[in-house]
Amino acid sequence: MALSVGAASLLSVGALTVPTAAQAQPVVIQVAPPPPRSERVPPPRRGYVWAPGHYEWRGGRHVWTRGVWVRARPGYAYRAPEWREEGGRWQYNAGRWDRDGDGVPNRYDRRPNNPNRN
């Protein structure tokens, strides 16, 4: 019995850390997110960046996720999660780290680390 409980908890932890194919796909919906909630931003914390609260699409509806501190990554700029509307459809872009701070995801950036970016 103890072995099966331990194995089950190990599997559940693994499920949290390995993204599924569905998670890798961008979320595109036709329902606009509600206005962002007002959130008290705590005082700065050394070595961390504040990731603001935002709405995520889960279970066919918008669900508020509170802001959290994330460990800073030297040499990277943090891009907060956002919803963008294009042609009546809404796409969710998850929070991410950007190497050169130009807003272009690193995998699509033709000139990463460009010191002369605008």
In a domain, 114, yes or no: no
Q: Kindly report the pTM of this predicted structure.
A: 0.64
Can you say whether the dihedral through the CA atoms of 58, 59, 63, 69 is positive or negative? negative
Pairing of strands 89-93, 27-29: antiparallel
pLDDT at position 113 is 61
* Host domain of residue 37: 27-108
Residue range 19-65, pLDDT digits in tens: 433 445 679 999 999 999 999 999 999 999 999 999 999 999 999 99
- Give the confidence band of 112 by pLDDT, cuts at 50, 70, 90: low
In a domain, 41, yes or no: yes
In a domain, 117, yes or no: no
In a domain, 116, yes or no: no
pLDDT at position 114 is 62
